[in-house]
Structure 1
Amino acid sequence: MVPMARRNLVDSPFLDAACPQMGRTPSHTPVWFMRQAGRSLPEYRKAREGISMLDSCFMPELLAEITLQPVRRHKVDAAILFSDIVVPLKAAGVKVEIVPGRGPVMDAAIRTKEDVLNLPILDHDVPEVAQGISHILEELNDRTALIGFAGAPFTLASYLVEGGPSKNHQRTKAMMHGEPELWHTLMERLTPTIVGFLKVQINAGIDALQLFDSWAGFLTEHDYRNYVLPHSKHIFQEVEAAGIPRIHFGVGTGELLGAMSEAGSEVMGVDWRVPLDRAAERITRAAGPRVLQGNLDPAILFAGPQVVREEVTRIKDEAAAAQLAGTARGHIFNLGHGVLPDTPAEAITEAVAIIHGEA
């Protein structure tokens, strides 16, 4: 399963932090930002003029260009593949579009047993994505990692069952509790699509991967453990042989960090609501120490460099305290969620310099 395309990055701050078992120490605190490629960059808006979001994810040269833009501008330590969590669904044959101002919307919701059994499964390569990764790797230097990603099964299931974004996920929870057998069948049909999409990226040469469970924070720990954790654990097991760092992240998941860490990732993403040292304790109690990723509030980037500097220092101190206490194995700096669309690009560049200790 290890691809011929895999790079040997011997001086990558991101990988040095993500793989402490290799015995390497990063030269500085590595940083990348979720949604670092996107509407905050004028060059992104220009590149995507007249092209829909999902269409751009299937255009190899364009997705490579968008992936590389924040690396060139901000000097982050890792690129994140430009994609969307519903891309594997579209690649499998699900009719879905991203509606501006709303998000992913399904042509038809998945509500019945027949709907679930007819849900397409991705069982083939996605050459557009693989070609895009090849273009990205041609430009990235040997210090900058490339992170691939996929949406986790609960989040994808919610989009499918609700028919689009939901504030309360009531239909999703109704199926989960009222028809648990159907729910698990749906999750089991989604899992090979997610695994297949991750393997496309792995075989094309990504250096790490992240599983996004954007909506998991709407669940209780009991529900997460019973209805979600087994399926997320299966996904991490299926890609373990690749030998690359695996990151797990969800929004509003402070109460779920212990359970989520049991899914098997080497790195746990933490949103801004929980201090890193406290998050580390919750993770360690459940599954042993992990590398932490996070967790600056995205809104802080609007507050000016002095506030950013103070918050960065606080977060670094929390991570260092966790490592000293033995509850964390390393730290990758990130936001506690994605870059907000109207964030000034200059503020992001300055934040990277502050995190690197250069400003």
Structure 2
Amino acid sequence: MSSVCSTFISSSALSIKPKCANPSRSRSKLRINCTVGDVFVFSESVIEQKAVSTAEPLLVSAVRGENVERPPVWLMRQAGRYMKSYQIICEKYPSFRERSENVDLVVEISLQPWKVFKPDGVILFSDILTPLSGMNIPFDIVKGKGPVIFNPIKEAADVDKVREFVPKEYVPYVGEALTILRQEVKNEAAVLGFVGAPFTLASYVVEGGSSKHFSKIKRLAFSKPKVLHALLQKFTDSMAKYIQYQADNGAQAVQIFDSWATELSPVDFDEFSLPYLKQIVDTVKQSHPELPLILYASGSGGLLERLPSTGVDVVSLDWTVDMADGRRRLGPSVAVQGNVDPGVLFGSKDFITNRIMDTVRKAGSGKHILNLGHGIVVGTPEENVAHFFEVAKGIRY
């Protein structure tokens, strides 16, 4: 583990020479203490951290602005994708919906990164489109193609057919999986749920799947805005209930993905996304005032100042925004998440270390969840993911 300390020493991003104490052994563990400017670094094997904590998860404490010893860390899309153990499951169960709608598989896949890397957040293995079937919107997720909506919404009559989402009735496996995850993880990490934001969900069901130009939903927005608003309201009501359901069954924080809202101009974001995000947050906070809500919108640099007005507790930044600039633009009241470029995990271990430390230094000591600025990329070397977590969990404020 002395190599971890040496990577900090060579970190050009810090431009500060660390001072390292002599290594000391405590029973079977080797400890190396390093001071790097205002950041105190303590390296310890991720695998050897076995202490069971009954206290509140670090991630929740950090979001609330409490004094924490280091930034909590997890990775978006961390369940599966790059892990060989997940690929083995995919070979046995090739259907994504089967993997994400079977309690045993959901739990097993959700726990795969936890068992190996011990992140501070364990996110439910699922998809933002999971509620669609329960809303009378048939869909599938096809390997190599992505989401496919069988009957895209075009008219008011199509919106009328969209029914109210009742999570307990239509996705009981989500609640069961979250309950099991809480039992498995205890409070050693925060169990994370997630939902899709109304505009992003509407984009999928109007476009019929993924899109490059979002011409169909923009046509609907600008030619028949009442139809789109009706659809957005249905998703808003349903996603608020879905978040409440996840929290009632064990989720200790919930992330809202508004991946496609940033395809809107600011004036259109103010009409078709922002009000509905506010509604969701207001509704959830009435019933679950202490539940941390995280908002992630990819490519949100042009809209950043608007995001705290949703009322969320955390804004997740993608890597196109400098963390220091993001902090300044968001203001001190909101926590931040991110924002290491996922491509960094293809670099050398020294390079990964430097980027982690640069992000943490710019984020400052508190109200920061260390994460990538987007989902982890397929093909990312697992040993680099292990290094990412080892370095991240070795940081001390």
**1:158 corresponding residue in structure 2:** 203
Counterpart in the other structure of 2:298:
251
Q: How does 1:183-222 map to 2 (within 5 A)?
A: 183-222=228-267
Q: Which residue of 1 aligns with 2:74?
A: 32
Distance verdict in 2 for CA 1:123–1:142, change over 3 Å: closer
What is the match of residue 3 of structure 1?
none
Letter in 2 for 1:175: L
Q: Which residue number in structure 2 is paired with residue 281 of structure 1? A: 328
Indicate the residue corresponding to 2:134 in structure 1: 91
Counterparts in 2 of 1:261-276, with a 5 A limit?
A: 261-276=308-323
Residue 215 (structure 2) pairs with residue 170 (structure 1): yes
Cα deviation for residue 47 of structure 1 reads 2.3
1:219-258 to structure 2, matched below 5 A, reads: 219-240=264-285, 241-242=287-288, 243-258=290-305
Verify the 8 A CA contact 1:12 1:26 in the aligned structure 2: no
Taking only aligned residues, the RMSD between alpha carbons, in angstroms, comes to 1.7
CA deviations on 1:139-196 (whole Å, 9 max, x unpaired) are: 1032211010000011100001100100010111111111111111110111122122
SS at match of 1:256: helix
Task: Report how far residue 204 of structure 1 moved.
Answer: 0.4
Distance 2:245 2:133 in 1: 15
Aligned to 1:326: none
Deviations 1:96-116 (A, max 9, x none): 000112211101110111011
1:236-292 CA deviation, whole Å, 9 max, x = no partner? 1111131211100110011111112211101110000001121122222xxx62111
2:352 to 297, 303, 308: 308
8 Å contact from structure 1 (residues 280, 292) kept in 2 = yes
* Aligned twin of 1:74: 117
Q: 2:343 aligned to 268, 290, 299, which one?
A: 299
SS in 2 for 1:232: helix
Q: What is the DSSP-based 3-state SS (H/G/I as helix, E as strand, rest coil) of the residue aligned with 1:30? A: coil
CA distance in 2, matches of 1:31, 1:19: 15
In the other structure, the counterpart of 1:344 is 381
C-alpha separation between the residues in 2 aligned to 1:92 and 1:44?
A: 29
CA distance in 2 between partners of 1:306 and 1:299 (Å): 14
Distance (Å, rounded) in 2 between the aligned partners of 1:274 and 1:124: 35
Q: CA deviation at 1:10?
A: 2.2
The 3-state SS of whatever aligns with 1:262 is: helix
SS at match of 1:294: strand
Deviates more, 1:301-310 or 1:44-53: 44-53
The question of 1:44 aligning with 2:122 is answered no
Distance in 1, matches of 2:125 and 2:136, equals 20
- 1:226 and 1:281 map into 2 onto residues whose CA distance is 25
- Give the structure 2 partner of residue 5 of structure 1: none
Question: How many angstroms apart in 2 are the aligned matches of 1:157 and 1:207?
Answer: 26
Q: Distance in 1 between matches of 2:157 and 2:252?
A: 38
Specify the code of the residue in structure 1 equivalent to 2:371: N
1:119 maps to amino acid: V
Counterpart residue identity of residue 68, structure 1: L
Is contact 2:134–2:166 with CA below 8 Å preserved after alignment?
A: no
How far apart in 1 are the matches of 2:293 and 2:260?
Answer: 19
Tell me what 2:50 maps to: none
Q: Matched residues in 2 for 1:110 and 1:275: separation?
A: 38
Q: Which runs of 5+ in 2 are unaligned?
A: 1-52
Moved more, 173-182 or 150-159: 173-182
CA contact (8 A) 2:149 2:205 kept: yes
Match in the other structure for 2:159: 116
For residue 181 of structure 1, the aligned residue among 201, 214, 226 is 226
Which amino acid in structure 1 is aligned with residue 136 of structure 2? G
Contact kept? 1:60, 1:135, Cα under 8 Å:
no
Seen in structure 2, the aligned counterparts of structure 1 residues 195 and 11 have a Cα distance that, compared at 3 Å, is closer
Mapping 1:52-63, distance limit 5 Å: 52-63=95-106
SS at match of 1:105: strand
- Amino acid across the alignment from 2:234: R
SS at match of 1:333: strand
2:56–2:187 CA contact under 8 A, matched in 1: yes
- Alpha-carbon distance, 1:91 to partner: 3.0
Question: Bigger radius of gyration, 1 or 2?
Answer: 2
Q: Percent identity?
A: 33
For residue 371 of structure 2, give the secondary structure of its aligned residue in structure 1: coil
Partners of 1:270 and 1:293 within 8 A in 2: yes
Q: Structure 1: where are the runs of 5+ without partners?
A: 1-7, 324-328
Distance 1:347 1:304 in 2: 8
CA contact (8 A) 2:54 2:186 kept: no
Matched letter for residue 78 of structure 1: G
Could you tell me whether the CA contact under 8 Å between 1:66 and 1:82 is conserved in 2?
Answer: yes
